[in-house]
Chain A
Amino acid sequence: MRETVRFLLGDELVEIASCDPTRTVLDWLRLDRRRTGSKEGCAEGDCGACTVVIGRLDGGHLRYEAINACIRFLPTLDGCQLLTVEHLKGADGALHPVQQAMVDCHGSQCGFCTPGIVMSLFALWLNEAAPSVARIEDALAGNLCRCTGYEPIIAAGLRSAAVDRSQDYFAQAQGEVAARLAELRDMQTVAVSDGERRYFAPATTKALAELLAAHPQATLVAGATDVGLWVTKGMRRLDPVIHLGRIEELRAIADEGDQLRFGAMANHIEVRKALARLSPQLDEMMRRFGGEQVRNAGTIGGNIANGSPIGDLPPALIALGATLVLRRGNVRREIPLEGFFLDYRKQDRRVGEFVEAVLVPELPADALFHVSKISKRFDEDISALCGAFFLRRDTDGRIAEARLAFGGMAGIPKRAQAAEAALLGRLWNAEAVAAAKSALAQDFTPLTDMRASAGYRLKVAGNLLTRFLLESHGPTTPIRVAGLLAEAAHG
């Protein structure tokens, strides 16, 4: 056990022995350290005004990620470098190229979102030499600006990208930072508390299994993109907290030939890369997952274990036929993912169990696959509904296997069994779609809420099957508005 949290704040080594397990990084910065550059706009990871950049070792490689400081718990920074907007100016007081570009392009008006925007652009600048406009938009999807309309901010992203990085302080310091972080890295479990509530961060799955056995009621925290809100909005006082972020083996993604194996802590950025190979639509869906900060922090295991009825990944993974590996102590069990979701916010996770991995079978060459996410706003929005479909046909072209999975249509991510049955044995054509559409009403009685009405959800769920049919037949006219834009952007 190590009873201190250690991380770098810029160059400064910070060691904290007594720590509230759910103290947010933002409150620590603003209140404890009086670094008020990072702002609180929403305290739920949706506006990005609090964006900071985390440097962490990924294997031996130093990796920089923008994250939301407002829902990140301070002790989870252990072993990382934290960079805030105050770090960016040079020793001579000169603005960093990203900052200078924002000034030159008139990228700020009220200025309140600006530190967060600067940090998102800074993370992009560190990681990518020549981002496209679309890529800059993705990197800023988690940053709301209410003043500028974003045009000058995108211009600033393009302008700063053109600046030579070789002389940049942060580019030059990476070797040294990596070495210092390597020194901080150990395999001990971190255990701190504020004298009342406890926090553990094991470094191995073995240690995790033991901790969970000892504290079966502990709250498991992965990216904290949802648990963070339990604290900032629900004002819950969690105890104990077990953080999974130090367990390297849980982050691994392995291509095992016939299947992809995702460690539960693989973040959405990495998951996207792996899934993109299966289908460009999966790639697009994962591009639209949260904002960049949430994609950096959030994990595949967290997205599943959280059990949200509107999580984007579960329908897609169910349609792909994914299975879940659950572990307690040294006992593992594998269940089909769809079986994990029992009822609204109720999952088949037994006391002391944790999600260890997700197994996603390779998409057969003859399979048809489709994913659609429907939301009020294209980027950084929660689905009104999400549909993911998998079909295989026999040699006569008749549908032999069908998995139609939906999110937002019920209290859990769920397959449309009646619609699937209606498809079986049919040729994949308009009649089949019509049959499946009318069966959907037996499968679902969706809710009306602030995202969409029940009627819209049901009709569009059916229309997604039409879209699937049109797309699988190689359309000659555009089928999605997002695709149109991609053409325009490339053209």
Chain B
Amino acid sequence: MADARKRLDIIAESGPVGAALKHDSAAKHVAGEAVYVDDILEPAGTAHACLGLSSIAHGRLLSLDLSAVEAAPGVLAILTAADILGENDISSTHKHDEPVFATEAILHHGQPLFAVIADTREQARQAATLAKAEYEEAAPLLDIAAARAAGGELVTEPLKLERGDVAAALTASPRRLKGAMAIGGQDHFYLESQIALAIPGEDGDMLVHSSTQHPSEVQHMVASVLGIGAHAVTIEVRRMGGGFGGKETQANLFACVAALAARKLKRPVKLRPDRDDDMVITGKRHDFVVDYEIGFDDDGHIYAVDATYAARCGWNADLSGPVTDRALFHMDNCYFYPAVRARSEPLRTHTVSNTAFRGFGGPQGMVGAERFIEEVAYATGLDPLDVRKRNLYGGEGRLTTPYHQQVEDMIAGEVIDELERDCHYRERQQAIRDFNRESPVIKRGIALMPVKFGISFTATWYNQAGALVHVYTDGTVSLNHGGTEMGQGLYQKVAQVVAQAFGIGLDRIRITATTTGKVPNTSATAASSGSDLNGMAALDACETIKQRLVAFAAERWQEAPEAIAFLPGRVRIGAREIAFVELVKAAYMARVQLSATGFYATPKIHWDRKAGRGHPFYYFAYGAAAAEVAIDTLTGEYKVERVDILHDCGNSLNPAIDKGQIEGGFVQGMGWLTAEELVWDEKGRLMTHAPSTYKVPVASDRPRVFNVALLENAPNREHTIHRSKAVGEPPLMLAISVLHALSDAVASVGEHRFCPKLDAPATPERVFDAVERVRVLAAGAEDAS
């Protein structure tokens, strides 16, 4: 493993690594030939399951009469908690707080009570509507304010980060202010909803085709729910139709129910919830309330920050602990706080159990950081970009994060400067101010902000990966690793690494579906870590095979090992060059093993959560974005007119794929902060449970002008795979620039004297309200003067 890293430096820079190659499945995607779980040819006798859901948000289940369900046409079986053979629990953090089926306590509207299995999916759906449940209803706690008012029960241990004497620093600050910000949640809206197809085998074996980012966890959950060993369960996933964190833990329920039903009926069972059920059942991005106090001076220097991060976690812990932790890890963004205290408050509510979502709490922490900057800017009359620059990490004693890791690779300042210059931020800002003076109804705004995102799982043990590489005697290669493909191009990137390692064409490499049967004990494909971890593991496997081939060739052709090199399309052995396939054939005849596993564990990282100290991140990924918007002060409507992005991918493994991650992540983040609004009614029913009511961005919402550039000549200073950087999550946070451009436009109605304090999501209504508020403040100030 360590050797694999060292050898990186001697790999030739030509070859597929770094090339803007197409996604491996692109031609299949466009032809409708890419197979998703629901497209797999169903084995004969496949039955279909549907979940029956609670119709209240909080209370006790008094009785559940399923006789009509059972008697409905086509119904084969019913499953309730009583049918669970093993544990009635799928808590991913082992807190035993997430039953598959409710027994007595009802903790959110849409909680699964039972499953019905029928010959067809339609029959199962029809039958599920016939259940008669009696409840004793209790008042649900639906949001952060309600949870706090009721005593603030937490779903998991909170985290505190602290550095310096915050109270003293606040007291010593020339100026102080307090505030609060609400940040909304977000539904993943992966286009392919959750799904599992379970196929029973002999000896109690269970194969589950699951749309999951975390096959090993699904394997363990299925084994636990069925009461069998993990070795009897195989989870396979070729691809997901989108994940975004929503299939890190949320796939467990569907896989377990399908497997339980398949076990009971001894026939294959598929469970694909309707979109509305998917949205009602599954967790989403956490909404937060950040309460903050900031100490600063008239020059915009921050002295101290004291902030609390309360999150609506929902009915069980799920990943809320690590998500709220990561919010705290990003409460600094790129800024050094001389004294800082940050506390998380992961609150239990009677809503869906919020979960992983691209950025994993980091975006919420960073939105808070940018609000702090904005508050200081309006309080001091400085431009927000100047306040940002004055508070960047850098300089003597100004590199320590709130979690006591040193920022060793800080480049945000350079990224900001380059973008500021290239997008003509200052000139455009002036032009916008001039425009706004003449335009009473439409107001424009602009904002430029940086992003720094920590790369590595904060659960340190997750930072490992395995791979399995077979070389066949015809020179073709079968590649498998623990990472899953959800559209992010991981399979393609790793294939490029392998092709480069052997010097063979990508057409010689078959990328095979992720399965727990080939590479065990894998980590979730999450935390942007997919190519960092799996690319290294695959390279390690390749290096093992290459070492064997080199040793063999050295002996066969009597050359020094140093004289043997894998070049594009051929292998050099001393003075001679032979085809890769010739070497492989010869090695096989000499009984050399042509298959290897690979393994990688991220070095350097450690984290002591109790102490709030450590080095949780291997490195940071950086970027910056400048957004320009126009708002309508009569209605709050707005459009994003232009966005410029400069993003740091290190030495990109595939710039086309990375650009896709940047653009897509940005637009998804923009949706989160603008039109994507989750609304629950007073009974705890999700009102925005389908795309008709929950509005993710469409084509016309993307920035009219959208300039995206990858930072050049910026290799990762750490020994990552080919010196690249992770790219899955960081670009999402670049969209915070849109929120601040909207805020800048709103501020213009008060001559930029009052902080608009625009909360998220900034729907047209929130923008409108902010305009009204700033106008009232401005009028009040005029009256006073």
Contact = CB atoms under 8 A, between A and B. Distances in A.
Given A374-B635, A377-B701, A110 B660 contact: no
Contact of B27 (A43, A103, A384): A103
B630 interface: yes
A345 interface: no
Contacts of B699: 136-137, 140-141, 143, 145, 150, 153-154, 379
B698 A466 contact: no
Interface in A430-478: 449-453, 456, 459-460, 463-464, 466-467, 470, 475, 477-478
Interface in B747-777: 763-765, 768-769, 772
A459 B772 CA distance: 11
Nearest to A288: B700
A481 B700 contact: no
Contacts of A489: 704
A154 B663 CA distance: 13
A456 B32 contact: no
A293 interface: no
Given A115-B32, A150-B699, A150-B702, A95 B637 contact: no
Given A42-B690, A44-B275, A488-B704, A109 B487 contact: yes
Interface in B683-699: 687-688, 690-693, 695-699
A77 to B, nearest CB: 19
A109 B660 contact: yes
A382 B34 CA distance: 33
Given A154-B699, A450-B688, A147 B664 contact: yes
Contacts of B274: 43, 232-233
Of B39, B239, B665, most buried by chain A (CB within 10 Å of CB) is B39
B700 A378 contact: yes
Main secondary structure, interface of B, reads loop
A482 B764 CA distance: 14
Given A146-B242, A379-B700, A481-B638, A109 B488 contact: yes
B172 interface: no
A108 B23 contact: yes
Interface string A58-97: 0000000000000000000000000011101100000100
Interface residues of A, number: 94
Given A36-B38, A102-B30, A460-B634, A110 B675 contact: no
B725 to A, nearest CB: 19
Main secondary structure, interface of A, reads loop
B143 interface: no
Of A112, A118, A380, A484, most buried by chain B (CB within 10 Å of CB) is A112
B692 A44 contact: yes
A350 interface: no
B191 A84 contact: no
A138 to B, nearest CB: 8
B439 interface: yes
B486 interface: yes
B31 to A, nearest CB: 6
B22 interface: yes
A475 B441 CA distance: 10
A255 B774 CA distance: 50
A340 to B, nearest CB: 24
Contacts of A47: 191, 275, 691
B763 A99 contact: no
Interface string A126-165: 0000000010111011011111111111100000000000
B189 A146 contact: yes
Nearest to A452: B765
Given A147-B487, A452-B765, A112 B31 contact: no
A476 to B, nearest CB: 9
Contacts of A463: 634-635
B639 A39 contact: no
Contact of B244 (A95, A146, A149): A146
B487 A111 contact: yes
A152 B660 contact: yes
A484 B692 CA distance: 27
Contacts of A30: 38
Contacts of A36: 32, 35, 38-39
Contacts of A470: 441
A123 B578 CA distance: 51
B32 A376 contact: no
Interface in B631-681: 631-632, 634-639, 641, 656-657, 659-660, 663-668, 675, 677, 679
A481 B637 contact: yes
B639 A144 contact: no
A431 to B, nearest CB: 18
Contact of B31 (A85, A143, A452): A85
A361 interface: no
A34 B240 CA distance: 20
Contact of A141 (B239, B679, B700, B772): B700
A380 B697 CA distance: 10
A459 B191 contact: no
B189 A488 contact: no
Contact of B23 (A109, A154, A374): A109
B153 interface: no
B239 A111 contact: yes
Contacts of B22: 103-104, 106
A131 to B, nearest CB: 12
A46 interface: yes
Given A46-B692, A482-B639, A484-B639, A147 B27 contact: no
Nearest to A45: B692
Nearest to B441: A479
Interface in A309-333: none
Contact of B192 (A27, A39, A464, A479): A39
A477 B438 contact: yes
A459 B633 CA distance: 12
Given A44-B691, A154-B699, A374-B635, A235 B129 contact: yes
B32 A85 contact: yes
Contacts of A452: 765
Of B242, B638, B763, most buried by chain A (CB within 10 Å of CB) is B242
B698 A478 contact: no
Of B29, B122, B126, B630, most buried by chain A (CB within 10 Å of CB) is B29
Contacts of A114: 29-30, 34
A449 B488 CA distance: 36
B31 A88 contact: yes
B276 interface: yes
Contact of A374 (B641, B690, B696, B764): B764
A149 B668 contact: yes
A1 interface: no
B191 A144 contact: yes
Interface in B19-61: 22-23, 25-36, 38-39, 41
Contacts of B705: 488
A37 B31 CA distance: 7
A99 B31 contact: yes
B36 A39 contact: yes
Contacts of A449: 679, 687
Interface string A364-405: 000000001011111111101000000000000000000000
10 contacts: A39-B36, A113-B241, A140-B698, A144-B698, A146-B188, A149-B660, A149-B702, A450-B688, A488-B704, A488-B705
Given A111-B28, A150-B699, 16 more contacts: A36-B35, A41-B691, A89-B31, A106-B22, A110-B240, A118-B30, A118-B32, A376-B677, A377-B695, A378-B637, A456-B636, A463-B634, A478-B441, A479-B441, A481-B630, A481-B637
- Give 10 closest A-B pairs by Cβ, nearest first: A37-B32, A110-B487, A112-B241, A111-B29, A149-B667, A109-B487, A46-B691, A85-B32, A149-B663, A108-B29
Interface of A: 27, 30, 34-44, 46-47, 49, 84-86, 88-89, 95, 99-100, 102-104, 106-115, 118, 134, 136-138, 140-141, 143-154, 232-233, 235, 372, 374-382, 384, 449-453, 456, 459-460, 463-464, 466-467, 470, 475, 477-482, 484-485, 488-489
